[in-house]
Structure 1
Amino acid sequence: MTEKNSELDQATLRLTVGACASLYIFVVASLSTSDFATYVPIMWYMTFFFSVAIPLRMAIKRWPGHFFLRRLFAMTLDYVSLAFALIVGGEGALPLYAAVLWVTLGNGMRFGTRYLMIATLIALATLVAIFLLTPFWRGQPFLFLTLIVTTIVVPAYAHILLTRTRIASEEAIAANQEKSRFLAQASHDLRQPIHSIGLFTACLRDARLGREELRLVDNIDRSLHIVSQLFRSILDIYTLDNGQLEPQAEPVNLGALLQDVVKQNTEAARWAGVELRLRPCRHWVQVNAGLLATMVQNLVSNTLKYASGQPVLIGVRPKGDGLAIVIYDKGRGIAAEHLPEVFKEFYRVRHVRDKDVEGLGLGLSIVKRISHLINLDIRLDSRLGKGTRAMIQGLEMIAPRTPVDRPVAAQNRLQGLRVCLVEDDSNVLMATSALLEKWGCVVETHSDGVGVTSDCDIIIADFDLGTKVSGAECIAAIREQRGWEVPAMIMTGHEIERIRHALHHMNISILAKPVRPPELRATLLELTKHFAWRV
């Protein structure tokens, strides 16, 4: 985000006020034809003033920054110009005193109390010089005293306001930092149990349970899925409000990204009685993959809530100079009067039996915010009783990347796979290990990343392993020990975009907790391709 250039704003306002003062002097001189010659020197001086002020603004724009001498020169130019006009113009130039206050308060408000004090002292010296050099002012001692008192009292009051504002701002910043630290820690701590419950539930599903028990497990899994979605929505809003997200665009296989989203929503679609239909797509685009996937995920989640029992079509079509992701559903639709409002936070269109629809009304708000962040457009068209069409527009199409051909492994590529699992949360460690073993993996577990050695095929690590070593450092150490780039995955409860940006050079798959078992399995299968290729 570009920092505001207050000095440039002050320079622009200097030219504006100078133009107004010149116009005032010209009008006064025109109305007082007998004294017209009195104001001619002021007009010539204003020409000189603009010949200095315009290049000064250009220099400020060309070389922004805090230069004390430049600011002092600008203030001196302002006060000297006003002093000349007030001395030469006498009584007719008296309204220009307002500009003296403007220069004093303007510098203080834009640059702080230090400059306010300097400007006030220069203003007082300017008024004293005007009093000594002008007969009119010497004949008006009480008027002069009034202006002196005004020049002291107004900046003094502004100083008090600036001090209070600075203190309040510092307190607000400190409170916001505390909130950020709390939310960051709370998000990590809350993700862990949700993540482990999901993995334990997947283990139960694979056990020999009766029909009634499987139905209970299914209900638990569904409730957990809803909690995970709400939790992710709240954290997405926090991350976007935090303003620290700097998305990096990368080449993305659009078809593969949409396939991943469909796979992640398979169970939720089954619960909603929705058939997700994905049209194949071979296009590649330049975009931030994680944020685009979040947009599509939230739109698909919306269709599962409000178009239950109906098919949903997901596809890609040309739109203008780029591509658009289109999601069609045959749900209840949205009335025209609600369409402008649905992207607002917590806004939900009320229908009969709405208590059966889970959510906080944050999904579309997140989609809208992300669209602004990565320069995409989101459009929603809907007709009551007919369905809704959501479009993500503005995707920049690029040349396809050539995939690396690798031999296809056996049907069950996870059977016998040696996994090094590093996780400092005991419940998550137990749940992940149990699920991997259910899938046929051979798992060695470690509760921290210090001194880990392994002859594994794949590494799975938490990012935050305490104060001594991170998951990324643990993976790097194992790779160095083995002498080759062992396929690796990090599961993290921290902001995934920040982690992805920090580790973009390490070729590590990164998943955000809570991780759904199908998502974990799909990522593992993808990593086994890398292992099979090397073998």
Structure 2
Amino acid sequence: MTEKNSELDQATLRLTVSTCASMYIFIVACLPSSNFATYAPILWYMAFFISVAVPLRMLIKRRPGHFFWRRIFAMFHDYAGISFALCVGGEGALPVYAALLWVTLGNGMRFGSQYLAWATMIALSMLVVVFWINPFWHSQPYMFLMLMVTTIVVPAYAHILLKRTRIASEEAIAANQEKSRFLAQASHDLRQPIHSIGLFTACLRDARLGREELRLVDNIDRSLHTVSQLFRSILDIYTLDNGQLEPQSEPVNLNALLQDVIKQNQEAARWAGVELRLRPCQHWVNVNPGLLSTMVQNLISNALKYAAGQPVLVGVRRHGKGLSIVIYDKGRGIAAEHLPEVFKEFYRVRHARDKDVEGLGLGLSIVRRIGELIDLQVRLDSRVDHGTCATIHGLQAIAPGQEIVRQAPVQSRLQGLRVCLVEDDASVLMATSALLEKWGCEVEGHSDGLNVITECDIIIADYDLGTQISGAECIAAIRERRGWDVPAMIMTGHEMARIRALVADQDISVLAKPVRPPELRAVLLEQVKAMEDARLAV
């Protein structure tokens, strides 16, 4: 974001005020009771004033920054013009004093208390000069005293307000930094147990359990999914509030993206008794895939919550010259009076017997705000007892890109895969090891990333391994010791964009905790496929 140029704003204000003052003096000079010759010197001076103010503004625009003497020169220039008008114009120029006060406060509000003090001193000095030069002000000592007092009192009060505002701003910044540190730590610490519980339940699901035990595992997984959704919504709002997202667009196969989102929601759809269907398409668009997936994910989650037991259809259709993603459901619908409000944070449409619907009312707010970030529009059309249609507008079709062919996850392909797992959290280490061994992998577990010696086929590491080494550094050390770039991935509870940027040049896959087992297995299979292709190439 470009920093606001306060000095340029002040230069623009200078031109505006001088133009208005010139017009006022011209009108006063043209009145029948006035002598135009008296005001002609003021008009000439104002023309000179503007002829200096214009190039000064051009200089400030060309060379922005904090130049103390340039600001002081601009103040003297302002007050010299005002003083000249007050000296020559006498009583008729009295309203020009408002410009003096305006300039004084403008410098203080834009540049701070130091410049407010300078402006006040220069203004008082100029008023004293005006008093001694013009006989009219000798005859009006009390009026002159009032102007002097006003010139002191108003900036003094402005200084008090500036000081209070500065203190409040510093406190707000400190509080925001504390909140950021807390949420960053909470994000990491909360992701760890959610991540490990998900892996443990995946291990249990693959074990030989009875029907009742499988039902209990299913309930655990369902509850964990709900917690993960709530947790992700809170973190999404925090990230958007901090302005940390800088979306990068790339060619995206819409059908593949929607298929991935549908797969991620199949279990939740089964729990809700929803038939989740996707109408295939062949369109490609240029968009940030992660943010678009989040938008679609939140809209589908809403449909699953409020259209339980009913079918939900996801598809793409043409909308004018662009494309739209639509999510249809046959749920209870939303009354017309609620539609303008549903995109507000924490707003939820309440129905009878609605207490079992999970959520914080953040999903649609996140969808709207992400849409604004990537220039997409979101619309809801709904009728009570007939259902809702959520539409994401604004996608532009592009020429198809090169498709990445992915093989179906086959567990036998992981049989015998030697995995070096580096994780400092004991529960996560145990859960991940157990799951990988269920898939047939041979796992070497390390709770410390220092001096890891391994002959593995692939490295899986947490990014945060303590104060001495990071996951990326651990991977780099293993690769250096082995003499080749061992395939590697990082699982992290930290901000994904930052971690991806840190390892961008190291050819390391990055997964965000909590990682769902199908996602972990898919990345492992891609790594195995890449290793097999490399061997065939040799």
Q: Shorter-chain TM-score category?
A: over 0.9
Deviation readout 1:435-494 (Å, 9 max, x if unpaired): 111111111111122222333222221111111221122223333444444332221111
Any conservation in 1 of the 2:254–2:285 contact (CA below 8 Å)? yes
1:405 and 1:143 map into 2 onto residues whose CA distance is 86
Which residue type is aligned with residue 332 of structure 2?
R
AA in 1 matched with 2:135: P
Question: 2:215 maps to which residue?
Answer: 215
Please list, as runs of the form range in 1=range in 2, the aligned pairs for 1:471-510 lying within 5 A after superposition.
471-510=471-510
Q: CA deviation at 1:248?
A: 2.1
Structure 2 contact 462–492 (Cα < 8 Å) conserved: yes
How far residue 65 of structure 1 moved from its aligned partner, in angstroms, is 2.0
Counterparts of 1:83-102 in structure 2, within 5 Å, are 83-102=83-102
Q: For the Cα contact (< 8 Å) 1:409–1:532, is it kept in 2?
A: no
Question: Equivalent residue for 2:145?
Answer: 145
Matches for 1:264-279 after TM superposition, within 5 Å: 264-279=264-279
**SS of the residue 1:412 aligns to:** helix
Amino acid at match of 2:42: I
- TM-fit CA distance, 1:431: 0.6
Q: Distance in 2 between matches of 1:9 and 1:511?
A: 46
Partner of 1:245: 245
**Cα contact 2:113–2:159 (8 A) shared by 1:** yes
Query: Does structure 2 conserve the Cα–Cα contact (< 8 Å) formed by 1:278 and 1:315?
Result: yes
> Which residue matches 2:531?
531
Amino acid at match of 2:331: G
Which segment drifts farther, 205-214 or 448-457? 448-457
The equivalent of 2:415 in structure 1 is 415
Change (3 A) 1:451 1:88: same
Unaligned runs of 5+ in 2: none
Letter aligned with residue 25 of structure 1 = I
Report the secondary structure of 1:90's partner residue.
helix
Distance 1:244 1:151 in 2: 44
Structure-2 change in CA distance of 1:26 and 1:489 (3 Å): same
8 Å Cα contact 2:226-2:358 kept in structure 1: yes
- Aligned residues with identical type, % of pairs: 78
Q: Secondary structure at the match of 1:389?
A: strand
Contact 2:406 2:526 in 1 (8 A): no
Indicate conservation of the 8 Å contact 1:407/1:533, yes or no.
no
Q: How does 1:86-125 map to 2 (within 5 A)?
A: 86-125=86-125
The two structures have a TM-score, normalised by structure 1, of: 0.95
Structure 1 residue 344 and structure 2 residue 348: aligned?
no
2:411, 2:424 → 1: CA distance?
A: 32
CA distance in 2, matches of 1:363, 1:144: 62
Q: CA RMSD of the aligned region, Å? A: 2.0
Q: Which moved more, 1:85-94 or 1:198-207?
A: 198-207
Q: Tell me, in whole angstroms, the C-alpha distance in 2 between the residues paired with 1:381 and 1:520.
A: 37
TM-aligned CA distance change 1:478 to 1:326, over 3 Å: farther
* SS in structure 2 of the partner of residue 514 of structure 1: coil
Tell me the secondary structure at the aligned position of residue 18 of structure 2: helix
- Amino acid in structure 2 at the alignment position of 1:220: I
Deviates more, 1:522-531 or 1:480-489: 480-489
Residue 157 of structure 1 is matched in structure 2 by 157
Corresponding residue of 2:393: 393
Paired with 2:232 and 2:405, the residues of 1 have a C-alpha distance of: 35
Partner secondary structure for residue 277 of structure 1:
strand
Report Cα offsets for 1:54-85 as digits up to 9, x if no partner: 33223323332222232222212110110110
**1:263 counterpart residue number:** 263
2:295 and 2:487 mapped to 1: Cα distance?
28
| Distance in structure 2 (CA, Å) of the matches to 1:204 and 1:34 | 97
Counterpart amino acid of residue 339 in structure 1: L
Amino acid in structure 1 at the alignment position of 2:417: L
Q: Structure 1 residues 480, 380: CA separation in 2 closer, same or farther (over 3 Å shift)?
A: farther
Question: C-alpha distance in 1, partners of 2:251/2:423?
Answer: 31
For the residues of structure 2 that align with 1:408 and 1:261, how far apart are their CA atoms? 17
Q: For residues 66 and 323 of structure 1, what CA distance do their matches in structure 2 show? A: 48
Alignment partners' CA distance in 1, 2:354 and 2:392:
27
What is the match of residue 382 of structure 1? 382
Q: 1:228 offset after TM fit, Å?
A: 0.8
Q: Which has the larger displacement, 372-381 or 52-61?
A: 52-61
Q: Does the residue aligned with 2:451 lie in a helix, a strand or coil?
A: coil
Asked if structure 1 preserves the Cα contact closer than 8 Å seen for 2:284 and 2:400, the reply is yes
The CA deviation at 1:293 is 1.4
For 1:190 and 1:240, how far apart are their aligned partners in 2? Answer: 20
Aligned residue for 2:440, secondary structure, equals coil
Offset at residue 410 of structure 1 (A): 6.4
- What is residue 170 of structure 2 aligned with on the other side? 170
Deviations 1:139-169 (A, max 9, x none): 2223222222221222122212211211121
Q: Deviations over 1:193-234 (max 9, x none)?
A: 111111111111111111111111111111111111111111
Equivalent residue number for residue 300 of structure 2:
300
Is the 1:407–1:532 contact (alpha carbons within 8 Å) kept by the matching residues of 2?
no
Deviations 1:151-196 (CA, angstroms, capped at 9, x unpaired): 1222122212211211121111111111111111111111111111
1:252 Cα offset (Å): 2.7
User: 3-state DSSP class of the match of 1:354?
Assistant: coil
Residues 46 and 425 (structure 1), Cα distance of their counterparts in 2 relative to 1, 3 Å cut = same
Separation of aligned partners in 2, 1:243 and 1:468: 30
The one-letter code of the counterpart of 1:193 is: P
Tell me by how many angstroms 1:34 deviates: 4.2
Structure 2 distance, partners of 1:327, 1:365, is 17
Distance in 2 (alpha carbons) for counterparts of 1:53 and 1:534: 68
Q: 1:397 deviation in Å?
A: 3.3
Identify the residue that residue 335 of structure 1 maps to in structure 2.
335
Contact 2:274 2:308 in 1 (8 A): yes
Q: Which consecutive unaligned segments of at least 5 residues does structure 1 have?
A: none
- SS of the equivalent of 2:291 reads helix
- Rate the CA distance shift 1:34–1:201 in 2: closer, same or farther, 3 A: closer
